[in-house]
Structure 1
C-alpha cells in the first residue's frame, strides 16, 4: 500500500515538473517553424479608389515592421475556377521566421498605428495564419 502511494506521488510530481518545464521546452519548437500571416481586407466601399489607395498606403507603411521577412500585397487575380474566392479587395501576406516574430509584429507600434489609422476603411477582414517547416523537400 505504501509503495503504491509513493509511486503515485512520484508520478504526480513528474507530471507537475513536466507541466512547469514544457512551455520552456516548447520555445525552441516555436522558433523553428516559418509563420505565414495572410489577411484579406473587405473595404466598406470596395469600388472607392481613394479608400483602396489609402489602405495600400497603410500596408506599405506596415511592411516596415522589422520582424517581417517578406511581404506580398495583392488584389484578386483574374482567374475563373469556381473554387477561387475573389470577394476581397486587398490581400496582405507576410512571412516571419517563426511565431515569436509574428507575436512581436502584432504588438509593434507600426502595426498598432496601422489598425488605428486605417481600420475605418474595411468592413471586415479574414485572417489565415499557418506554420510549417522553413524548407520543404
Structure 2
C-alpha cells in the first residue's frame, strides 16, 4: 500500500512540475493566434505638445518589453470620413505571438513602471484587443 501511495505521489508531482515548466503545452490553442493590443490615449491636457512628447517617451520605453514583436506609436491621421475617430491624442499598437505573451506583457515590470510614471498624463484609455487568424502552414 505504501509503495502505491509513493508512486501516485511521484506521478502527481511529475505532472505538476511538467505543467509549471511548460505552461504553453497545457494550453495549445492559446499559443496559435497572433494577438494585437491597440490602445488609444486621451490626454488630460488636450493638444499639449509637452504631455504628448512625454507620453511618447514612455511608450518608447514600453516598447522594450521582450514579448512585444512589433510596436507602433501613432497620432490621428489627416483623413476625413464619417467613420473615422480622431478624438484621441496618441495610439499604441503592439503585436504579440499569442495571448499568453500579451498576458506576460501586462505584468512585466516595464509595463507596470510605464503605468506608474505616465498615467497622470491621460484622462481616459480605450483598448481594442484582437486575435489574428490561425497560422497557415
State the TM-score, normalizing by the size of structure 1: 0.79
| 1:93 aligned residue | 93
Matched, 1:81 2:88: no
Gap regions ≥5 residues in structure 1: 1-23
Inter-partner Cα distance in structure 1 for 2:121 and 2:83: 27
Q: Distance in 1 between matches of 2:74 and 2:135?
A: 24
Partner of 1:110: 110
Count of aligned pairs: 115
What is aligned with 2:5? none
Map residues 52-71 of structure 1 onto 2, 5 A cutoff: 52-71=52-71
**CA 1:73–1:134: 2 relative to 1, 3 Å:** farther
Q: Give, in angstroms, the shift of residue 46 of structure 1.
A: 1.5
User: What is the Cα deviation at residue 70 of structure 1?
Assistant: 0.2
After superposing on structure 2, the runs of 4+ consecutive aligned residues of structure 1 that deviate more than 3 Å are none
Distance 1:63 1:25, change over 3 A: closer
2:68–2:94 CA contact under 8 A, matched in 1: yes
Find the counterpart in structure 1 of residue 41 from structure 2: 41
The CA deviation at 1:132 is 2.1
Aligned-partner Cα distance in 1 for 2:53–2:134: 33
What is the DSSP-based 3-state SS (H/G/I as helix, E as strand, rest coil) of the residue aligned with 2:71?
strand
Counterpart Cα distance in 2 of 1:121 and 1:37? 20
Instruction: Return closer, same or farther for 1:56/1:134 CA change in 2, 3 Å cut-off.
Output: farther
Instruction: Say if 1:34 and 1:43 are closer, same or farther in 2 by CA, change over 3 A.
Output: same
